Amino acid sequence: MPSSGIKPGLLRKMTVRRVLECLQEHGPLSRADLTRETGISAPTVSKAVADLLESGLLEEGMAPDHALGRPGKKLQLAQDTAQVIGVVLDVRECRVLSASLDGAIKSQAVVFSTPEDYPQLLEALTKAVKSLETEEVVTLGIGISTPGLIDEQNQRSLFSPNLQAINQRSPSADLTSATGLTAISVQESRALCLAERLYGNARGLDDFGMLDVTSGLGLGVFSGGTLLSGQSGLAGELGHVTMDPNGRQCGCGNRGCLETLATDTALAVTVSAAIGRALPIDQVIAEVQNGNIQIDEQLELVSEYLSVALAAAINLFNPSNLFVHGRLLTLNSNILKDVIARTSRRALAPSFEECDIQIAGSSKDQAAVASIVHHLTRSAGPRVAE
């Protein structure tokens, strides 16, 4: 294999990344396990591990070694010595929480209503982040699950139809200035994809889709093991396909976009119109479950449009699994079955038959955490020397 073009620093970084991927996939491992799993030489693995321990991304502890029948030293993603912070930016409320590097949520989320004014939003986020920092544990960074179109390369929100306060702003750069912590914004459907692959039901899957149908409608796609981005990270905006040219006004400025018809918000809006008072989706669900309101008609319509979204994702990307993240699917146990039946009538049969449709196993909290963990592990940590 020609090696003249590869710099030693790059090789070292690749080893570091491979070690991190291995620990993310398998959990705690000894140095010997890592050498065997990665196929990289023991001294090279040891150097990478030393860098990672130094950076705070890994910690070493005693864990039961089943092969030896006694506890042995194991390396793991930091659980006690370091933490990351997840920020979920959303239309109605924001959530800020801390987690260990293996994705386990550590704190109760700080929740506040999303201010309409950007400086106020930034102030509230900064305050929440600072409240989660502790003396004992190193905070390695902040992941921000962000709605709308984001130039992820330049970390700028280009246009967010449902959260316009962040348009042309950079919440990640501003949070870094305010807190001194590395911060990264990832588009919310893409962040959910990362979470599902790291912590949810997409572990080990290379071809899957994630349809987020909460406030807006977004699609994240892993194809051949790669998260699809388009040329500047804006791919996946299935929600702004026109379904009804004369339909309801969408946050993007057009009318009748799929996201005005097939989301939690769409259901809440149509139910609110029918009963004559404005209810957010959580209250709609509570009222239905308490038997106070009946929403069969509205639910049927939203389910039909949701099946259009699912069928489109299946026809376009031929995924092995399609995960759906939405509160409306939790209304009762039959909704998913009903949506799948509708999808079967719309999608192309060979692609539909190969695709397993499930409710997403990961949350937006985990999506925010996965964004920063992915960033730190992909860039091999903030303090790792090249």
Regarding 48 and contact with Zn ion (CB under 5 A), the answer is no
Near Zn ion by CB under 5 A: residue from 58, 75, 140, 257 = 257
Q: Which two tokens stand for residue 385?
A: 């020397």
Q: Which two tokens stand for residue 198?
A: 């790291």
Rounded alpha-carbon distances, angstroms, from residue 32 to 41, 44, 151, 377: 10, 12, 41, 21
Distance in angstroms (rounded) separating the CA atoms of residues 184 and 371: 7
Select 164 or 254, whichever has its Cβ closest to Zn ion.
Answer: 254
Closest approach of Cβ 131 to Zn ion, in Å?
A: 36
Q: Which stretch binds Zn ion (CB under 5 A): 28-36, 148-156, 188-196, 234-242?
A: 234-242
∠13-19-22 over CA atoms, to 5°?
Answer: 140
Residue with tokens 């040219």: 245
Residue with tokens 């009963």: 275
Select 124 or 241, whichever has its Cβ closest to Zn ion.
Answer: 241
Contact flags string 56-95 toward Zn ion, x per CB under 5 A: ----------------------------------------
Regarding 252 and contact with Zn ion (CB under 5 A), the answer is yes
Q: Which stretch binds Zn ion (CB under 5 A): 4-12, 211-219, 235-243, 311-319?
A: 235-243
Sheet bearing 356-359, strands edge to edge: 226-227, 218-223, 208-212, 321-325, 356-359
- Cβ burial 294-329 (10 Å sphere, 16+ → b, else e): ebeebbeebbbbbbbbbbbbbeebebebbbbbbbbb
Closest approach of Cβ 351 to Zn ion, in Å?
A: 26
Distance in angstroms (rounded) separating the CA atoms of residues 269 and 153: 35
Q: Which stretch binds Zn ion (CB under 5 A): 16-24, 39-47, 177-185, 239-247?
A: 239-247
Closest approach of Cβ 240 to Zn ion, in Å?
A: 4
Whether the Cβ atoms of residue 312 and residue 238 lie closer than 8 Å to each other? yes
Amino acid code (one letter) for 181: L
284: three-class secondary structure by DSSP: helix
Select 97 or 267, whichever has its Cβ closest to Zn ion.
Answer: 267
Select 241 or 279, whichever has its Cβ closest to Zn ion.
Answer: 241
**Dihedral angle, C-alpha 159, 359, 100, 61, nearest 10 °:** -150
Are β-strands 218-223 and 110-113 bridged in parallel, bridged antiparallel, or unpaired? unpaired
Select 40 or 150, whichever has its Cβ closest to Zn ion.
Answer: 150
* Residue length of the chain: 386
Closest approach of Cβ 326 to Zn ion, in Å?
A: 17
Q: Which stretch binds Zn ion (CB under 5 A): 11-19, 123-131, 255-263, 349-357?
A: 255-263
Number of residues this chain uses to bind Zn ion (CB under 5 A): 5
Select 240 or 342, whichever has its Cβ closest to Zn ion.
Answer: 240
Select 160 or 377, whichever has its Cβ closest to Zn ion.
Answer: 160
Q: Which stretch binds Zn ion (CB under 5 A): 167-175, 184-192, 224-232, 240-248?
A: 240-248
Distance in angstroms (rounded) separating the CA atoms of residues 119 and 259: 28
Select 24 or 160, whichever has its Cβ closest to Zn ion.
Answer: 160
Regarding 217 and contact with Zn ion (CB under 5 A), the answer is no
Q: Which stretch binds Zn ion (CB under 5 A): 69-77, 215-223, 253-261, 296-304?
A: 253-261
Neighbours of 57 (CB within 10 A): 27
Whether the Cβ atoms of residue 237 and residue 254 lie closer than 8 Å to each other? no
Regarding 250 and contact with Zn ion (CB under 5 A), the answer is yes
Select 234 or 288, whichever has its Cβ closest to Zn ion.
Answer: 234
Select 59 or 264, whichever has its Cβ closest to Zn ion.
Answer: 264
Q: Which stretch binds Zn ion (CB under 5 A): 63-71, 114-122, 250-258, 352-360?
A: 250-258
Closest approach of Cβ 246 to Zn ion, in Å?
A: 14
Burial bucket for residue 230 (CB in 10 Å: 0-12, 13-18, 19+): exposed
Regarding 355 and contact with Zn ion (CB under 5 A), the answer is no
Closest approach of Cβ 162 to Zn ion, in Å?
A: 9
What are the backbone dihedrals phi and psi of residue 222, each rounded to the nearest 5 degrees, phi first?
-95, 125
Near Zn ion by CB under 5 A: residue from 240, 325, 327, 375 = 240
Interacting residues toward Zn ion by CB under 5 A: 240, 250, 252, 254, 257
